[in-house]
Structure 1
Amino acid sequence: MTEPAAAAAPSLSRAHLLTGFGAGGAIGVLGGLIGLGGAEIRLPVLISLGFNALPAIIVNRVLSLVVVAFALPARAATIPFAEVAGHWPVIATLLAGSLVGAWTGATFATGLASRTLFRAIAVLLIITAALLVAGGDPELRHMPIDGTVQLVAGVAAGFGIGLAVALMGVSGGELLVPTLVLLFGLNVKLAGSVALAVSLPTLLVGFARFGRDNTLGVIRANLGFLALMAAGSIAGAFLGGQLLGIVPSYVLLPLLGLILVLSAWKIWRHGNAAEA
């Protein structure tokens, strides 16, 4: 059962609206700089502003889509589209799993969204963060596999990421970037752009599958707030894309590791709340 659209729009003061714009900008910077949609960071902000659970998830999904859509071109000055397109086999491998995972996750969201699943994802994020920041050359920190094994692992990883996208309304960047670095050996800057190229169609599939819910009603009820936070997100994504050419990779990896740890903590707490 979905919440009525009329209950989806909290009464927001000017201070709340400014908070939304500022948070959108900050999260957009992460999208442009690292290749994340920022959903796990944005969701607590939306709840703190008075959004109920379902409207918060729907608004979060819309804003993730905005960040991902604008972050990819914002990064093009440093990571050209041609370089991203050159890794089409990697993109196709991950999409082969993520699109199915997003559709499956949206179909069986209620049954799959258990505390055990959320805790498993949280533990996976912690392990991934540890692997990313544990010494070594960021250009070479990847698993020594290739060929068919890498293909199967890529499709399986994509499926799991697609599930996360559908179940939690995230863009999947928190999982895609580490997968591209660890499994396919991409440097972290290139991985961010390739992750965005995978995230965009995966988000669209999950969004389309959820279309039977009162998504449009929630969007209409919160159109002004959405426009304001989206504007901040677009400006932030542009700024993050410009910073990409300045900030070195050895700074991005620990930053991504920190974001993974924070996301794991939030997902763990979300799992506890889902069980209550």
Structure 2
Amino acid sequence: MSPKSIPLPPQPAADPDEHDAAPSRRPVPAFAGGAVIGLLGGLIGLGGAEFRLPLLIGPYRFRALEAVILNKAMSLIVVATALPFRAATVPFGAIADNWAIVLNLLAGSLLGAWLGASWATRLSSRTLYRVLAVLLVLIAIALLFGHGSTAASALLSGPWLIGAGVVAGFVIGVVASLMGVAGGELLIPTLVLLFGADIKLAGSLSLAVSLPTMIVAFTRYSRDNAFATVAQNKVFVAVMAVGSIVGTFIGGHLLGLVPEQVLLPILALILVVSSLKVWRHG
């Protein structure tokens, strides 16, 4: 009698997120992806992190929390370089003259960034995908209706303005932290409409608020195990960040080449389609 074969234990199904995605994360694709995203952002006067997030989750196949943390790392690099780049147009003295506005928003955004990062690390992967999908739609709406805003003077005054600034900063800090973005798409309309800032000045003030806000969120993310993905993908992060900077620089010089009436709806549509894919990914 032939011996009975010993049944093998059932093998777990392969996790699609664990397949080798290395080819898409190599330097050339990373630089190209960063450059395209930076170009889109530069054309509308932003860093493009909102468009980078779906790219990290989709073609580069990072998990939601990893994508957020990597996006935050690259956003930090891009913003840190963008602030001195803008000094020729908006000198640091102009930013210093408006220190009260920066501190007003930071009073809310720093707390929002810390809490947003804490919530992101505690949410289940599925829930975080869904949250990111909803936020991408909200960013698309802000892109359509908030970009190019103009205001002659502050919307409120006195304690009401300070209170509104803290609340707005808190909300922006949470959103920026959850998505790993600088938050310029929300900060610039807030600075223009709530504080009556000139649009060029608002761009630089938003960077002055974003930088410490992102550092706080980054510090909170560093306490989570997923933060190790930054060290594991440091070359990818550096190369894609450089690509983003180059793309933003080129896009900034092409600013006005494509009419906003054409460009903004297209970019908003990209965000909505990306939102659907991120939602389904969850």
Query: Shared fold (TM-score greater than 0.5)?
Result: yes
Q: Which runs of 5+ in 2 are unaligned?
A: 1-17
Equivalent residues of 2:24, 2:30 under 8 A apart = no
Equivalent position of 1:27 in the other structure? 37
Equivalent position of 1:4 in the other structure? none
Q: Which range moves more in the overlay, 25-34 or 214-223? A: 25-34
SS at match of 1:79: coil
Relative to structure 1, is the Cα distance of residues 220 and 129 closer, same or farther in structure 2, using a 3 angstrom cutoff? closer
Q: Which range moves more in the overlay, 113-122 or 42-51? A: 113-122
RMSD, aligned CA:
3.5
Equivalent position of 1:3 in the other structure? none
Deviation at 1:254, TM superposition (A): 8.2
Structure 2: how far apart are the matches of 1:51 and 1:118? Answer: 14
Relative to structure 1, is the Cα distance of residues 269 and 195 closer, same or farther in structure 2, using a 3 angstrom cutoff? farther
The one-letter amino acid of 1:61's match is K
Structure 1: how far apart are the matches of 2:225 and 2:216? Answer: 17
User: Which of 204, 219, 229 pairs up with 1:193?
Assistant: 204
Structure-to-structure mapping, 1:95-110, within 5 angstroms: 95-109=106-120, 110=122
Structure 1: how far apart are the matches of 2:197 and 2:262? Answer: 16
Equivalent residues of 2:175, 2:183 under 8 A apart = yes
The percent identity for this pair of structures is: 45
Equivalent position of 1:146 in the other structure? 157
Equivalent residues of 2:144, 2:265 under 8 A apart = yes
Equivalent position of 2:96 in the other structure? 85
Structure 2: how far apart are the matches of 1:116 and 1:224? Answer: 29
Q: Does 1:42 align with 2:52?
A: yes
Deviation at 1:203, TM superposition (A): 0.5
SS at match of 2:22: coil
Deviation at 1:90, TM superposition (A): 0.8
Relative to structure 1, is the Cα distance of residues 48 and 269 closer, same or farther in structure 2, using a 3 angstrom cutoff? closer
Q: Does 1:11 align with 2:22?
A: yes
Deviation at 1:182, TM superposition (A): 1.4
SS at match of 1:48: coil
Structure-to-structure mapping, 1:156-235, within 5 angstroms: 156-215=167-226, 217-235=228-246
Relative to structure 1, is the Cα distance of residues 253 and 164 closer, same or farther in structure 2, using a 3 angstrom cutoff? farther
SS at match of 2:87: coil
Deviation at 1:149, TM superposition (A): 1.3
TM-score, normalised via structure 1 length = 0.77
Relative to structure 1, is the Cα distance of residues 8 and 269 closer, same or farther in structure 2, using a 3 angstrom cutoff? closer
Relative to structure 1, is the Cα distance of residues 196 and 108 closer, same or farther in structure 2, using a 3 angstrom cutoff? same
Deviation at 1:219, TM superposition (A): 2.1
Equivalent residues of 1:122, 1:268 under 8 A apart = no
Equivalent position of 1:60 in the other structure? 71
Number of aligned residue pairs:
260
Structure 2: how far apart are the matches of 1:229 and 1:167? Answer: 20
Equivalent residues of 1:8, 1:51 under 8 A apart = no
Deviation at 1:169, TM superposition (A): 1.4
